[in-house]
Each structure stands twice: as structure tokens, then as C-alpha cells.
Structure 1
Amino acid sequence: MKKLLLMISVLVLTGCLGMPNYVEPVKDFELDRYLGKWYEIARLDHSFERGLTQVTAEYSLKPDGGVKVINRGYSTAKQEWKEAEGKAYFVNGENEAYLKVSFFGPFYGAYVVFGLDQQNYQYAFISGPDTDYLWLLARTPTVSPEVIQQFVEMASARGFDTNSLIYVDQKTEVTP
């Protein structure tokens, strides 16, 4: 019975660390180049970002070697900024863009960079543990139509519902 409870606990705590079929993490990933501020260009809808505009993610190194994550967005309905702090750690090693991220204690979800401008680290395509979670991040508030087209094509080929993408308003100026 103890073994069964242990196995169930392990599955609950790590059950969201998979990735969708056909999603492969970027190899030769360089965390130092990935750190810093990213703007959310597009995403699939989910409750923890619903209604937010001007969404950004900021990544910095933690003393324990992990990554500090600050997600921030503006709620137009409530006329206020929302912020969440999390932590992320590599799953298979620092050269593979496959991390586990947590905003809620011991519960982790997958964070998989499956597309990346590896020359300049100017945009990234990110998946969660399944095809319900998808993001396009960029170093600037806008990207070219070619980047969006590449994102949509790659995501669609991997089973994501790209017809349901939300394109994030980064233009409305609201100061903190």
C-alpha cells in the first residue's frame, strides 16, 4: 500500500512534465542568452492569463542554479497589474530547452521551447505539457508576419489549435 501511495504521489507531482507528441525541445540551448525580458505575442487561452494584456515574462538566474520567473500582465477589466513569481529547473540538462516550472509549491508543469531564433534569441515557441498550452514570446512587443506564420505552421503541425490563438495587445500603454 505504501508503494502504491508513493507511486501516486510521484505521478501527481510530475504528471505535467510530459510534452505533446511531435514536440521536441531545442538542443544546444544557452540559458544565459535566454534570460531577460520577453513579450508575449500569442497564446492559447487559459484561466491564469485570461483577459490580460501587455503580458511579459522575465527570467533571471536563481542562486541554486534554477531560473526565477516573473510573469506580469495588465487586467483591463480590473484596471490592475497581475504578477506571478515562479521557479524553473532543467529536466534533462542545461543544453536542452526542456524545463519544469512551478508557480504553486511542489507542483510543476512542462515548459518546452520547441522553436527558437538560435542565432539571436529574439523569439521562442513554447509548449506546456499538452496541446492546451502554447506561447509565442519575443524580445520586442511585436514580431514580423513571417515569424507569426512560422509559429502557426510549426504549432499546427504539432497538433495545437492555432485557430484559437489570442494575439496579445502590447500596444496600449499602461504604466505600473
Structure 2
Amino acid sequence: MAGSVMLAGCATFEKGPVGNTAVPQPAKTVDLDRYLGRWYEMGRYEAGFQKGCEAVTADYTLRDDGKIRVVNSCRKGSVDGKFSTATGKAKIVKDSGNAKLRVSFFGPFYGDYWVLDRAQDYSWAIVGEPSGRYLWMLSREAKPDPEVRAHIESRVKELGYDWSLVRLTKH
């Protein structure tokens, strides 16, 4: 499961600025059936593997082997730019309440993907990982209403993230 194009699977290879020096543990368990499906990236900490990406989506489906198929897509340069996609897999970390996953887009290399918080109705989620270098804000709608956006921003700050590092995604 993941927060956006190439996601945490690439976090193994790249190092951006630390935006949170004390990443909290996930706040809630995750009902995998409710988390699966399409997510739209509302914003992120910019990373090289997502540079210039707009109209970012992440689609999660359950595979026959119990892992999760991850398909991250974006448009390069603008919402009308060249379509780019990456397909990977994720596995749930044991005893994490389904809130921690390991995501891979490159063979045996996995990166952390933590669902730090989410709406009760699974309409939004905040995803990070232990280093504090990566952050994704996801919504079930491409353009959530301003009240939802403000709530997510507030929650991101409460979790200890530096909002000045956030890059909002255009859809």
C-alpha cells in the first residue's frame, strides 16, 4: 500500500531532508479491505523518484499470495503530462495491526510504509516511515474539500512533521 509513485520502496535508496525527527507509531489499526482501492495523493515530501509528478494515484489490490499489489501512477510535469506508472508489492508487518507494511518496487529491496493515521471512514490517510524523510497525504477524492484539507494539514503538524517541506499535488 502506498502513498504515491514509487513510494517507500525507493526510500531505501534516496535521502531527503528529515521533516520529523520523532515519527510516531501508527495511531490506529487498518482494516485492509477498507484500505484497498484507489487513493489520490494530496501532498508529499518531495523525493527524487517523484520529482515533477502531478495527478498522483495509488491503487492497492490483494494478490492471490496474500501480498498487496501496488500500482502508483502520475503525470510528469503537469496534470496533462506524460503518464508514468510503477508496479510493486507490499507485505504486512506482523503484529502491526495492518498499519505497517514493507513495499518493494525493486526485487528484494523493501522500504517501510506506515499508515500513521486515517479517517474513521477511510476517506483520508497519512503515510510515513521511521526516518521522517518521507510523508504522503492521501485522499479518496482527487480534490478533497477545504475543511478536509485543513484537518489533514493540522493532523500532519500534530504528528510532528514540518509543513514547510510539504509539496501539494495538483489534480
**TM superposition score normalised by structure 1:** 0.78
Partner in structure 1 of residue 94 of structure 2: 92
Structure 2 residue ranges without an equivalent (≥5):
1-10, 13-19
Q: Residue 70 in 1 paired to residue 53 in 2?
A: no
What's the C-alpha RMSD, in Å, of the aligned pairs?
2.2
Question: In the TM superposition, what whole-angstrom CA distance separates every residue of 1:70-117 from its partner, at most 9, and x where no partner exists?
Answer: 000001379411111111111124733111111111111111111101
Question: In the TM superposition, what whole-angstrom CA distance separates every residue of 1:1-41 from its partner, at most 9, and x where no partner exists?
Answer: xxxxxxxxxxxxxx96xx96342224331000111111001
The runs of at least 4 aligned residues of structure 1 exceeding 3 Å deviation read: none
Shift of 1:151: 2.5
Higher RCO (Cα < 8 Å, 6 or more apart): 2
**Larger Rg, first or second structure (1 or 2):** 1
Q: Residue 114 in 1 paired to residue 112 in 2?
A: no
Partner in structure 2 of residue 129 of structure 1: 130
Higher helix share: 1
| Matched position secondary structure for 1:27 | coil
Say if 1:20 and 1:158, in contact at 8 Å, map to a contact too: no
Shift of 1:148: 2.4
Say if 1:100 and 1:109, in contact at 8 Å, map to a contact too: yes
Partner in structure 2 of residue 167 of structure 1: 168
Structure 1 residue ranges without an equivalent (≥5):
1-14, 171-176
Partner in structure 1 of residue 143 of structure 2: 142
Say if 1:90 and 1:98, in contact at 8 Å, map to a contact too: yes
Aligned residues: 153
Question: In the TM superposition, what whole-angstrom CA distance separates every residue of 1:110-129 from its partner, at most 9, and x where no partner exists?
Answer: 111111012x2111010023
